Structure 1
Amino acid sequence: MRNGFSAEEQTILYGVTGGIPEYLSRIYINRSMDKNIIELFFEESGRVFEDICQQYLYHPQIYTKLPFLPGNTGRWWGTDPVKKRQEEIDIMAIQDNQALLCECKWRNVPVNIEITKQLLDRGKLFHYDQIFYFLFSKTGFTKEVLEYQKQDSSLFLIPFDKICLLK
């Protein structure tokens, strides 16, 4: 849990989030406890963005350019047996022995390398011959992520403005 909150507030935040690391990572100490809870659970923009990202994958200009043609896509969650915690993947598609894992971030800050590595680590939970990673971001990516992507052909970065350019 992040410093900056009283012990009581930390207990409430931990209880409300269920201790799920993904939600805990979205807690900002410069916001009140109440504001954090409202943004985490009652503002729908994050879920709407996930829907937009899923639709992007099926767009005619994109679908045929994907590493494989996914049939169905959906959300995945389960337990990481090594870390002994719940993990979640915003969008996942499987075809034969290939998987596509997507993380969708509707935040006012660019996606950083920690979020990128978190998605890559979640890929280790699966045993497919090929795994492709898609990071969608409202505000783009840090320079470190852009540099990392140049070395990893399985990582695709999609900023929101690229989604908006589709016709």
Structure 2
Amino acid sequence: MLLEQFRSFYFKNYPDDMEQLIEYFAIFGGLDVELDTSMHITELIRLHIFENFDVLSRQVERITYSDPINIRLLKALAVGDRRIFSAFKRAGLNNSNGGAALKYLQERGVVEVEYSRETHPRELQDTKVKRELARHRISDKVLFTQPYLRFWFYFISPYRKEIELGEYDNFFEAFNEKQNQYTSLVFEELSELLLNYNLRDAQILSSGSYWDMNMEIDILTLTDNGSIYVAECKWTNHKVNKKELNKLQDKCEKLDIAPTQIILFSKRGFSKELAGMAGKDLALYKASDFEALLKSR
């Protein structure tokens, strides 16, 4: 679904480059509008969201059934670590009402669950594990099915009353401060699509982010021939350097995995040192490489 939205967004709006495409898609993806991509993104928010605020608010109310529990959960999922149990806690919900809200939102096609691949500590040890480890709960994560809906609950909901009054200063202050952080998740999702596109001749057994009680890896992909691909994604305004490679290698050592290839995705490219290391064991992708996702296959 995300790939279809990404392609549709491009062929409707034809942004100047892939960096602009990803930034604009992270906000307007899934919202049926045509953008003048020569305009700054903040002006497009004013034009297409603030000037149509009543209509868009009613659409969100229909999606959420105007249920405050649904709204609280979506706000928690938008800004948190996406883990279900931590979202319940952030939203002040329990497993009962939180679970019911999550089920409803899944059925409405607002969110989808990304299942954990963590093995519980009890299954890793033959002997009795420590109490704190035994009590550890493996938590699945949640993804919004449309970038625009996550944008709404990430940025719009906290300032809704001010926006209704035409007061936008606090919204734009938060947006300017957190835009890169917000866009990172969409970039990560698109990076997984690009990785899997480049592995299209292999049979992918499992792919997605990996997390456990100690660490997270943006992308971990396994294929039927035993290959392991690990990746990190950096949507920042500076080039990625060797330090990020070292961090990912450390994570692999702690997980006791030997990756077939390490992949780094970067908004602004890579340092000369890191670029010189690219090869069979290390693949590097920058924003312009995402043009491959626009191909018909």
- TM-score category of the 2 structures, normalised to the smaller one: 0.5 to 0.7
Q: Do residues 73 (structure 1) and 207 (structure 2) align? A: yes
Deviations 1:64-109 (A, max 9, x none): 36xx542321111235xxxxxx321001112354311110111110
> Cα gap change, 1:125/1:43 in structure 2, threshold over 3 Å: closer, same or farther?
closer
**Who is 1:94 aligned against?**
222
**Who is 2:61 aligned against?**
none
**Matches of 2:257 and 2:266, distance apart in 1:** 25
**Who is 1:39 aligned against?**
178
**Matches of 2:259 and 2:241, distance apart in 1:** 24
Looking at secondary structure, tell me which structure has more strand per residue. 1
Percent same amino acid among aligned pairs? 26
Contiguous gaps of at least 5 residues in structure 1? 1-15, 18-33, 80-85
Contiguous gaps of at least 5 residues in structure 2? 1-79, 82-172
Q: Do residues 160 (structure 1) and 287 (structure 2) align? A: yes
The count of residues paired between Structure 1 and Structure 2 equals 121
- TM-score normalised by the chain length of structure 2: 0.36
Deviations 1:36-85 (A, max 9, x none): xx629x952000001111111233xx2236xx542321111235xxxxxx
1:63 to 180, 187, 199: 199
Larger Rg: 2
> Cα gap change, 1:94/1:63 in structure 2, threshold over 3 Å: closer, same or farther?
closer
Tell me if the contact between 1:98 and 1:128 (Cα under 8 Å) persists in the aligned partners. no
Tell me if the contact between 1:91 and 1:103 (Cα under 8 Å) persists in the aligned partners. yes
**Who is 1:149 aligned against?**
278
**Matches of 2:252 and 2:258, distance apart in 1:** 11
**Matches of 2:292 and 2:193, distance apart in 1:** 14
> Cα gap change, 1:128/1:117 in structure 2, threshold over 3 Å: closer, same or farther?
closer
- TM-score normalised by the chain length of structure 1: 0.60
